Amino acid sequence: MDRRVKRVGRPTKYSKELQALADTYILKYKELGDVIPSRVGLCCFLGISKSTSFEWANLYPEFSATLDAIDVMQEKVALNRGLDGTFNSTIVKLVLANHGYSDRQELAHTSPDGSMSPTRIEIVAPSLKNDDAKD
């Protein structure tokens, strides 16, 4: 009896040639019509789905490194184009949010080292004595 495991589904398209093609996307994304490098742009360029790109990132370290490089380049382009005003600020804000940027303002009620903490103020109403309650 043959005990080899049979793979289900069609064979992967991933290859060294496809990886080389993926790496060229980072350098040629503008020539390919993309304003900013992205996972979606890479997927369209390679003819794969986004879910396949996530799967390949887990299976192939080289592909994961390519996606990391796309993220770094995307952050750089968005930041620079946002600063020089060539990109819409709302879109830049959305893109940079994926890279950990935020425009939130956090208010701390204590200092990080605990040296400044809020003062508690209690207001105590005077108690009514029986003499005061004549009415």
- Measured CA to CA, the distance from residue 77 to residue 66 in angstroms comes to 16
Query: What's the pLDDT tens digit per position in 19-73?
Result: 999 999 999 999 999 999 999 999 999 999 999 999 999 999 999 999 999 999 9
Domain ranges of the chain: 16-97
Amino acid at 134: K
pLDDT mean across residues, the chain? 85
Q: Which of 16-20, 59-63, 83-87, 95-99 has the lowest mean pLDDT?
A: 95-99
- Measured CA to CA, the distance from residue 112 to residue 13 in angstroms comes to 51
**Positive or negative, the Cα torsion across 84, 28, 90, 97?**
negative
Task: Please report, in angstroms and rounded to a whole number, the separation of the first and last CA atoms in the chain.
Answer: 104
- Measured CA to CA, the distance from residue 57 to residue 59 in angstroms comes to 6
